[in-house]
Amino acid sequence: MHLFLFFIAILCFAQAKSNELTSPKLWNLFKRVHKKQYVNVEEENYRRTIFDGRLAMINQHNFEANLGLHTYTLTINQFADMTYDEIVRTISNKYTMSLATKISTKSDRQIFRPPSNLSIPATVGQYLLTELFLTKCTCRLA
């Protein structure tokens, strides 16, 4: 068991070292693909720090997925240089604005009136309804 854990630790260290070499290339590719431009060097360094953290988290998760600990893998997307709060604000602003636009442009909506002979079942199956905002990028981590 100790030998196995030692082997895993060596693999994690080797993977981290290889990521240090590819991170600048991925950072430049990320900026080019998602057309990211920053106001100054400080802002770019801040975004780069967030990006590196996300990259480490993605690599760690995908490594664990390869070991069978997860059933899915993660990739870099256009939010990789944003904090969690910024992502939530961005998504909720887009959703709220698009919803407001739809409501304001559709003032002539009709009200749904169910038919008088509609029968509603006494019970409904138990389902969990979750809205996920998942976006994918065409560039996957190797």
Dist CA 135 CA 52 (whole Å): 19
At residue 92, the pLDDT reads 83
Q: What are the extents of the domains in the chain?
A: 7-99
> Do 47 and 81 form a contact (C-beta atoms < 8 A)?
yes
How does residue 114 score in pLDDT terms, banded at 50, 70 and 90?
Answer: confident
The label of the residue with tokens 């909720």 reads: 92
- Domain over 7-99 is classified CATH 1.10.287.2250: yes
What token pair was written down for 115? 């038919």
Q: What is the mean pLDDT of residues 125-141?
A: 43
Identity at 42, one-letter amino acid code: E
At residue 106, the pLDDT reads 56
> Does the structure show a pLDDT above 80 at 108?
no
pTM for the predicted model, two decimal places: 0.55
How does residue 39 score in pLDDT terms, banded at 50, 70 and 90?
Answer: very high
Dist CA 110 CA 39 (whole Å): 47
